[in-house]
Amino acid sequence: MLTDSYNRRLDYLRVSVTDKCNLRCVYCMPPGGLEFLSHDEVLRIEEFVRLIGVFARLGVRKVRFTGGEPLVRKGFMGIVEQTRRNHPDMELCLTTNGILLDEVLDDLERHGLRKLNISLDTMSAERYRVITGRDEFDRVISNITRAIGRRFFDVKINMVLHEESLDELDEFIAFFAGKNITLRFIERMPFGDDYEASRFVPSDRLLEHLRARGNLVRSCNDDTNVAMMYELAGPYGRIRVGVIPPMTHKFCSRCNRLRLTCDGMLKTCLHSPLEFDLKTVLRRGDANGPVEAVIVDAIRAKPEAHRLGNPLDVGDGCMAIVRNRQMSRTGG
């Protein structure tokens, strides 16, 4: 079991399988685009599988595949298939923008990957184009509906909070109420060139808007390590709501996460510049002992908490560090 210096059990690994994406979201990618990693810089399929195995032996029980957009990674389903074969009891999850979901739903179900987090920041096709730079709204909505209709997947819809998000609450609630999904609102973290602290929307303000739309009841027993859970009952029916407030109500004391970047670096905190090179050690030979040693060292160095303040009342500070990082490589 992996336990850090603050007695937190680390049993959840987020794996970014690629830095590439088929969208160009304004909060993730600068207007000039990104310089993507070369083929050799990115971990190979067998290297992902091997590293997941090392983490599993050390006590990881949950793996979430992220990106970039994981479904654009050639051979991605091979990673899922081999991980399931090697670790039948591992909880497997996927975060996706949903564009290519229709092509893999059968395979995901066959390999027992139940948990789907689908990113959707608007219910407007026009605003979707503005945010993502692509005209894929109808396909994403169709694929979300397909995933829900299978009654196999645990679907969560992830929305990054913007000012405009508050204007679209009724549309989101009307569409997803009664569909047995969780609608999750995430405070925007200071990634991306267009980040403006003055436009930050705190979760408390969101809750005020939700209370104005019905009976909002806290579901503490359903809280996760990162999300405060609620149930909203209103004119559209009932819907589960999750609120993730990393900026105003940080959850570092409960953090159980590790992150493996697509180029083989281990990050113990999304907002820390500290990274540990697993790829170089991995490619030196077949022995896993040296890789495990690096992981153990990284766990000892995991910070107690991130140092991002509330953007409503702090200046740049350490946020400048985060702005210089590419979200597509760390996987969020």
> In CATH, what number is assigned to the domain containing residue 143?
3.20.20.70
Candidates 8, 25, 70; CA nearest to 45 is: 70
Residue 88, both tokens: 């039948």
Spatial CB neighbours of 259, under 8 Å, sequence gap ≥ 6:
13, 14, 15, 16, 266, 267, 268, 270, 330, 331
Q: What are phi and psi of 176, to 5 degrees?
A: -100, -10
Q: Residue 142 has what DSSP assignment? A: H
| CA distances (Å), origin 211, targets 159, 207, 218, 239, 241 | 18, 6, 11, 13, 12
Distance (Å, whole) CA 140 – CA 220:
31
Structural domain contains residue 220? yes
- Do 282 and 50 touch, CB atoms closer than 8 A? yes
Q: What is the pLDDT of residue 323?
A: 36
Structural domain contains residue 5? no
Q: What is the pLDDT of residue 330?
A: 67
Distance (Å, whole) CA 220 – CA 226:
12
pLDDT tens-place values along the chain, 332 residues long: 899 999 999 999 999 999 999 998 877 776 666 788 999 999 999 999 999 999 999 999 999 999 999 999 999 999 999 999 999 999 999 999 999 999 999 999 999 999 999 999 999 999 999 999 999 999 999 999 999 999 999 999 999 998 888 999 999 999 999 999 999 999 987 765 555 666 789 999 999 999 999 999 999 888 888 899 999 999 999 999 999 998 888 889 999 999 999 999 999 998 888 999 999 999 999 999 999 999 999 999 999 987 765 555 443 333 223 334 465 666 66
Structural domain contains residue 4? no
Q: What is the pLDDT of residue 82?
A: 98
Instruction: Provide the b/e sequence for 236-272 (b: ≥16 CB within 10 Å).
Output: beebbbbbbbbbeebbbeebbbbbbbbbbbbbbbbbb
- Do 73 and 20 touch, CB atoms closer than 8 A? yes
Tell me how many domains the chain contains: 1
Structural domain contains residue 117? yes
Q: Residue 43 has what DSSP assignment? A: P
Structural domain contains residue 132? yes
Structural domain contains residue 7? no
- Residue 41: domain span: 12-330
Structural domain contains residue 200? yes
Q: What is the pLDDT of residue 331?
A: 65
Residue 198, both tokens: 């003055």
Structural domain contains residue 3? no
Question: Starting at the edge strand that comes first in sequence, how are the strands of the sheet with 62-66 ordered?
Answer: 215-218, 228-234, 237-244, 182-186, 154-160, 115-119, 91-96, 62-66, 12-16, 257-260, 265-267, 276-277
